[in-house]
Amino acid sequence: MSEENVEQVAQPETPAEVASGGSGNDFLQMIPEELRQDPSLTPIKDVENLARSFVNAQKLIGADKIPLPVNPTEEDLDRIYNKLGRPETPKGYEVEVDGNVITEEVATNFSDIAHKLRLNPTQAKGILDYYKSNVDQTGELMAQQAEQEKQQSETALRSEWGLAYDQKVESASQAAKEFAGEDVFNLQLADGTTLGNHPEFVKAFAKIAEFRQNVTSEDTVAEMSQVNVMTPAKAQAEIDAIMNDKSHAYWDRRNPVGRQQAVERMQHLMEQLHG
């Protein structure tokens, strides 16, 4: 087959030509000559694109259009965001005060900041709802941590003090309130533990209470009634002393009365030791 007999196949338009609406603009010959040179027609390549441009232009008729300056001033931005819904003043946000997370002061400060940032009411409410949710979750987490710390402290002290736990905790609490005030219990340490839930804090004031009881005459009736309550460590120490002292009445069978009292004392010590 000779080259002369090969049919000429039309080349497809390039992507760029398709995107710009076609490769020709013969439609310009169909409109009045005074309109052909208008710059707005330059990008249009065919009748289809001309129709699309017209339809899109019709959709914009009546819409509230916002001019966007190239280098907007603060006044320009205020005008733009006011059209987008920003209230005229901070009071326009109408932040609801709950007296807990959102106080009057928080509401006022938030409204001022929201207005400076040019937020519309929907945006401001969304941010405030997120803040409240975050605070609530943080509060719940802190409450859970405080309860967990309290339980851990109680477990450790009960293990150390045995039956004397209630007495020592009460004595420590009274001493702390007397010498440091009730607010001291809520002080937070570097690890997040509140002071009132820290075992070492409780033990320190328990020792203060015990020292005062031993060296002063300020014992209360309640303290005197609890004098026989001992920690396991103290009970064990007295048991060891009795067992190692062969002259103790516990070992003297010739003294039935004294030995009976010593045996009863030993039974009491064993109860304090084992609970």
Q: Are 169 and 202 in contact (CB under 8 A)?
A: yes
Q: Residue 105 to residues 59, 108, 123, 138: CA-CA distances in angstroms?
A: 46, 5, 20, 21
| Residue whose entry in the numeric block shows the structure tokens 């009491």 | 268
Q: Residue 201 to residues 174, 178, 196: CA-CA distances in angstroms?
A: 13, 15, 7
Res 216: pLDDT: 59
Best CA proximity match to 115, nearest among 85, 79, 90: 90
* Distance in angstroms (rounded) separating the CA atoms of residues 176 and 202: 9
Average pLDDT, the chain: 79
Q: Which two tokens stand for residue 40?
A: 């707005």
Res 180: pLDDT: 82
pLDDT by residue for the chain (275 residues), tens only, comes to 444 443 443 444 433 344 444 445 667 777 888 887 888 777 777 778 878 877 777 666 655 667 778 888 999 999 999 989 999 999 999 999 988 889 999 999 999 999 999 999 999 999 999 999 998 888 888 888 878 888 888 898 888 888 888 888 888 888 888 888 878 888 877 766 778 888 888 888 888 888 877 765 554 434 444 455 777 888 888 888 888 888 887 887 887 777 777 788 888 888 877 76
Burial (CB < 10 A; 0-12, 13-18, 19+), residue 223, is middle
Domain boundaries of the chain, sorted by first residue: 11-60, 74-139, 160-225, 232-274
For residue 194, report the phi and psi dihedrals to the nearest 5 degrees: -75, 145
Res 178: pLDDT: 83
For residue 268, report the phi and psi dihedrals to the nearest 5 degrees: -60, -40
Res 13: pLDDT: 42
Other beta carbons within 10 Å of 168? 23
For residue 188, report the phi and psi dihedrals to the nearest 5 degrees: -105, 130
Res 63: pLDDT: 58
| Residue whose entry in the numeric block shows the structure tokens 């009071």 | 91
